[in-house]
A and B are shown apart, each in its own frame.
Chain A
């Protein structure tokens, strides 16, 4: 059960040609890995997540998904802002083949956003948004979660509940997390990678990775 990237390239058209964002990334994420992804703004962290999740195809190379991967969990991704949290939960339940009533109960209980669950998502604060998104993605029981900055918006109690969920209830699910906050990376992750010049540098020692990132 792994997520394997083999020589993945991704480029986008820009004025006067194409720009390579990812330049031949190869890596393997195994079940239970908890990896923090560090990099400066525009380094390609979110692009990497979209390619891993299969939202976008790589320009060159291959992505092998041997475990189920969540959609990239970032503010508003995969949600319909004009619908309520409950409507979005029903939508997710339907497209992922879950029991609708049980999903509603779970999401409502886990997100703990009270009556806002029945208000349009566009009225949510960033904290409520991250609670809803994490609850929705947990309800699907993925093997690997791609989190793009959103856990950072939660409070301590929410962070603890997410950790318990990942480690105990989901049987050691993998986590790939993008964050600019060293504390959050330390709290959730065991290893760190730095995305620089379109390539990944792996640091087994998380403090070393954070030090490299901070010196960028």
Chain B
């Protein structure tokens, strides 16, 4: 009965290194494996595949931009209305998709948490990185098209990307808090979509603070997202109109949501019921 000779050879394993390097290596391996897995399940191996990741925000942003430009209103500061909408909408798309997807993040990966080295934080990091990569790609495309076609040179590309980076960290922190919240109370998941939808006008994506009365401006600036949209517009249009933002306030918000998110998610690990 024994057919040991017919058994296949076991695969090789990488040599172990110092525990600090090994720990970081495991983390990276897990996150990259999760990203690959996420791309396979979300976009499949057929059709346009992961191109959808780029097309979705691009198409939505373009349609909105066209609607605004055919509306024919002239923008204060003389900026191009099409460019104004798309520069507002595409970064907001990152916030919306990262936050909206956070409610289901843990449940759709629950079975993978059977592997000890896969943690809820890894799951969220990999999903959010994928989402952010798409939006970064779209932003690059938009900038490229703006330069080549409209002849508009962005005032400060590095400022745009810095603001996008801050946006990513902000979204990531919020998504960790929400994912942990859903693990504690499932009803929360139903609230995420309507709340992000209704908060769209408050996000500062579709108007410049310079157009608003100072009192309203102060109220809106409680929202760190508004600061980031102002930064992105300044990076694009320069000083065509004044921009209002405070990087220190944004960084403090990011630190708070990320620390809260990590702590909350750690507690939520016990609440997740695996079958």
Show the binding face of A for B, using Cβ within 8 Å: 12, 46, 50, 53-57, 71-72, 76-83, 87, 90-91, 93-99, 102-103, 105-106, 109-110, 138-139, 141, 160-161, 164-165, 168-169
Structural contact, B116 and A71, CB atoms closer than 8 A: yes
Taking CB atoms, residues of chain A closer than 8 Å to B158 are: none
The reply to whether the CB of B113 lies closer than 8 angstroms to some CB of chain A is yes
Q: Which residues of B contact A103 (CB under 8 A)?
A: 11
Decide if A72 touches B8 in the complex (CB within 8 Å).
Answer: no
On whether A165 and B7 interact (CB within 8 A), knowing A83-B37, A91-B36, A102-B12, the answer reads yes
Cβ-defined partner of A160 (8 Å) among B2, B10, B114, B274: B2
Asked if B8 and A110 sit within 8 Å, CB to CB, the answer is yes
Contact (A98, B7) CB under 8 Å given A55-B114, A80-B41, A82-B41: no
Q: Which range holds the interface residue count of chain B?
A: 35 or more
A94 touches B8 (CB 8 A): no
Interface of B is mostly: loop
B196 within 8 A of A: no
Q: Which residues of B contact A98 (CB under 8 A)?
A: 11-14
Q: Is the CB of A50 within 8 A of B112?
A: no
Whose C-beta in chain B lies nearest to the C-beta of A101?
A: B11
Chain A CB within 8 A of B270 CB:
yes
* Cβ < 8 Å to A, chain B residues 6-24: 7-14
> CA of A43 to CA of B102 in the docked complex: distance in angstroms?
35
Given known contacts A50-B274, A80-B37, A99-B11, is B3 in contact with A164 (CB within 8 Å)?
yes
| Cβ-neighbour of A78 out of B1, B36, B114 (below 8 A) | B114
Within the complex, the shortest CB–CB distance from B31 to chain A, in Å, comes to 10
> Is B118 an interface residue, CB under 8 A from the partner?
yes
9 cross-chain pairs, A with B, having the tightest CB-CB distances, nearest first = A109-B8, A102-B11, A94-B33, A78-B114, A103-B11, A71-B114, A54-B116, A98-B11, A97-B14
A94 touches B10 (CB 8 A): no
- Which chain B residues lie closer than 8 Å to A110 at the CB level? 7-8
* Contact residues of B between 97 and 152, Cβ < 8 Å to A: 111-118
Residues of B within 8 A of A106 (CB): 8-11
12 chain-A/chain-B pairs, Cβ below 8 angstroms: A54-B116, A55-B114, A71-B115, A76-B111, A80-B112, A91-B33, A95-B117, A96-B13, A102-B11, A105-B8, A110-B7, A164-B7
Does B190 reach chain A (CB closer than 8 Å)? no
> What separation, in Å, do the CA atoms of A23 and B25 have in the docked complex?
37
B32 at the interface (CB under 8 A from A): yes
B30 part of interface (Cβ distance < 8 Å): yes
Residues 30-61 of chain B, each 1 if its beta carbon lies under 8 Å from chain A, else 0: 10110011001100000000000000000000
CB-CB nearest in chain A for B271? A13
- The reply to whether the CB of B26 lies closer than 8 angstroms to some CB of chain A is yes
Bound together, the chains give a CA A164 to CA B1 distance in angstroms of 10
B4 within 8 A of A: yes
* Distance in Å: Cβ of A144 to nearest Cβ of chain B: 13
Inter-subunit contact A161/B11 (CB<8 Å):
no
Check B252 for interface membership: any CB of A closer than 8 A.
Answer: no
Q: Within B215-270, which residues are at the interface with A (CB < 8 Å)?
A: 269-270
Instruction: Please give, as numbers and ranges, the residues of chain B lying within 8 Å of A82 by CB-CB distance.
Output: 41
Chain B, residue nearest A97 (CB):
B14
In angstroms, Cα B36 to Cα A169, docked, is 31
From known contacts A102-B9, A106-B8, A141-B10, infer whether A55 and B41 are also in contact, taking CB-CB under 8 Å. no
Residue among B2, B29, B113, B115 having the largest count of chain A Cβ atoms under 10 Å: B115
